[in-house]
Amino acid sequence: MSFLWALIVGGIIGWLAGLITGRDVPGGIIGNIIAGFIGSWLGSAIFGSFGPVVGGFAIIPAIIGSIILVLIVSFIMRKMRGSHKHA
């Protein structure tokens, strides 16, 4: 049951990061969950674990890390689309 809760919270974190940045996470719901998990890891690695913890995620670093991840992925996707236009 805790794994299901972690999937839900990870998806919400990824979705919030997409909303805050105004960019879509590729992959829909699965992409949101992945962005939430990887973003949580990234945020905890950079900022440590502080603030409220829900579903095993320290919410504040997880959201910040997910925002960073979404911005990086959207930048890479934009560059890839741009390079295909000139080929």
Q: pLDDT truncated to tens, each residue of the chain (87 aa)?
A: 678 888 888 888 888 888 888 887 777 788 888 888 888 888 888 888 888 888 778 889 988 998 998 888 888 888 887 766 555
For residue 51, what is the DSSP state?
A: S
Token pair, residue 52, equals: 């409220």
DSSP H or E segment with residue 54: strand 53-54
- Whether 67 and 17 have beta carbons less than 8 Å apart is answered as yes
User: CA-to-CA distance for 83 and 44, rounded, in angstroms?
Assistant: 33
Which is nearest to 8 in space by CA: 41, 42, 55, 40?
55
Q: Which residue's entry shows tokens 């699965």?
A: 30
Q: What is the pTM of this model?
A: 0.79
